[in-house]
Amino acid sequence: MSIESVNPATGEVIATYESMDDAAAAAAVEAADAAFRDWRERPLDTRAAHLNRAAALLRERRDALAALMAREMGKPLAGGRSEVDKCAWVCEYYADNAERFLKPEPIQTDASESYAAFEPLGVVLAVMPWNFPLWQVFRFAAPALMAGNAGVLKHASNVPGTALAIEQLLRDAGCPEHLFRTLLISGSQVEAIVRHPKVMAATLTGSGPAGRAVAAAAGDALKKTVLELGGSDAYVVLADADLDAAAKTCAASRLINGGQSCIAAKRFIVVREVLAAFTERFVAAMQAHRVGDPFDEQTDIGPMARVDLRDEVHRQVQACIAGGACCVLGGEVPAQLGAWYPPTVLTGVRPGMPAYDDEIFGPVGAILAAEDEQDAIRIANDSPFGLGAAVFTRDVARGRQIAQRRLQAGACFVNALVKSDPRLPFGGIKASGYGRELSHFGIREFVNIKTVYVA
- Euclidean distance between CA atoms 157 and 185, whole angstroms: 8
Residue 132, helix vs strand vs coil: coil
CB-CB neighbours of 372 under 10 Å: 13
DSSP per-residue codes, 276-319: HHHHHHHHHHHHTSPB--TTSTT-SB---S-HHHHHHHHHHHHH
Q: What is the mean pLDDT of residues 314-333?
A: 98
| Beta strand segments in 299-378, E | 326-329, 344-347, 364-370
- Euclidean distance between CA atoms 214 and 136, whole angstroms: 17
pLDDT of 29 reads: 98
- Euclidean distance between CA atoms 21 and 32, whole angstroms: 17
Q: What is the DSSP letter of 445?
A: T
Residue 98, helix vs strand vs coil: helix
Residue 120, helix vs strand vs coil: strand
Which residue pairs from 307-315 have beta carbons closer than 8 angstroms and sit at least 24 positions apart in sequence?
307/8, 307/11, 307/338, 307/339, 309/260, 309/339, 309/361, 309/362, 310/339, 310/340, 310/341, 310/362, 312/361, 313/341, 313/360, 313/361, 313/362, 313/364, 314/341
pLDDT of 125 reads: 99
Q: 2-229+432-454 and 233-422: same fold? A: no
> Per-domain residue ranges for the chain?
2-229+432-454, 233-422
Q: Which of 324, 341, 323, 350 is nearest to 286 (CA)?
A: 341
Element containing residue 199 per DSSP (H, E): strand 199-205
pLDDT of 351 reads: 97
CATH no. for 2-229+432-454: 3.40.605.10
Q: Which of 274, 266, 58, 296 is nearest to 166 (CA)?
A: 58
pLDDT of 71 reads: 98
Residue 114, helix vs strand vs coil: strand
Q: What is the DSSP letter of 405?
A: I
Amino acid at 423: R
- pLDDT over 90 percentage in the chain: 100
Q: Per-residue pLDDT tens for 10-67?
A: 999 999 999 999 999 999 999 999 999 999 999 999 999 999 999 999 999 999 999 9
Point out the residues that are catalytic.
228, 262
Q: Per-residue pLDDT tens for 232-291?
A: 999 999 999 999 999 999 999 999 999 999 999 999 999 999 999 999 999 999 999 999
Amino acid at 168: Q
Q: Which of 107, 182, 189, 90 is nearest to 142 (CA)?
A: 90
Please give the CATH superfamily to which domain 233-422 belongs.
Aldehyde Dehydrogenase; Chain A, domain 2 (3.40.309.10)
Amino acid at 189: Q
pLDDT of 419 reads: 97
Q: What is the mean pLDDT of residues 191-218?
A: 98
**Residues with Cβ within 8 Å of residue 80, at least 6 apart in sequence:** 65, 66, 67, 69, 70
**Residues with Cβ within 8 Å of residue 273, at least 6 apart in sequence:** 239
Band of the pLDDT at 1, cuts 50, 70, 90? confident
Q: Per-residue pLDDT tens for 136-147?
A: 999 999 999 999
Residues β-bridged to residue 329: 345
- pLDDT over 70 percentage in the chain: 100
Band of the pLDDT at 360, cuts 50, 70, 90? very high
Asked whether the beta carbons of 448 and 118 are under 8 A apart, the reply is yes
CB-CB neighbours of 128 under 10 Å: 27
Asked whether the beta carbons of 125 and 140 are under 8 A apart, the reply is no
- Euclidean distance between CA atoms 441 and 422, whole angstroms: 11
